[in-house]
Amino acid sequence: MALTKEQSASLVSKFGANENDTGNTKVQIALFTARIEQLSAHIQSFPKDKSAKRSLAKVIGQRKKLLKYLQSINLEAYRALIKELGLRK
């Protein structure tokens, strides 16, 4: 259920400065977004899985905090990231 190494490596290389830049805010938001998509699909299949619902809420909160931080320090990067990830409509 977790992201594979290949998936996380591709996200890190796409959103980070290099392939080892895992601490970058943009990379973390992209990884959380991928995890949210996986958990959402899992909950669609297994609606009674309460621990998955709790995990989903926790990851959404973490992503929300990072998005708020990114918005406060670099508004243009925030707008570009949400557009690329398709978070807002």
pLDDT attached to residue 20:
87
Give the list of residues 6+ apart from residue 1 with CB closer than 8 angstroms, or none.
38, 39, 42
Question: Residue 78: how many CB atoms within 10 A of its CB?
Answer: 19
Q: Domains of the chain: which residue ranges?
A: 26-85
Arch. (CATH architecture) of 26-85 = Orthogonal Bundle (1.10)
Q: What is the pLDDT of residues 55-72, one digit of tens each?
A: 999 999 999 999 999 999
Q: What is the pTM of this model?
A: 0.91
Q: What is the pLDDT of residues 28-51, one digit of tens each?
A: 999 999 999 999 999 999 999 999
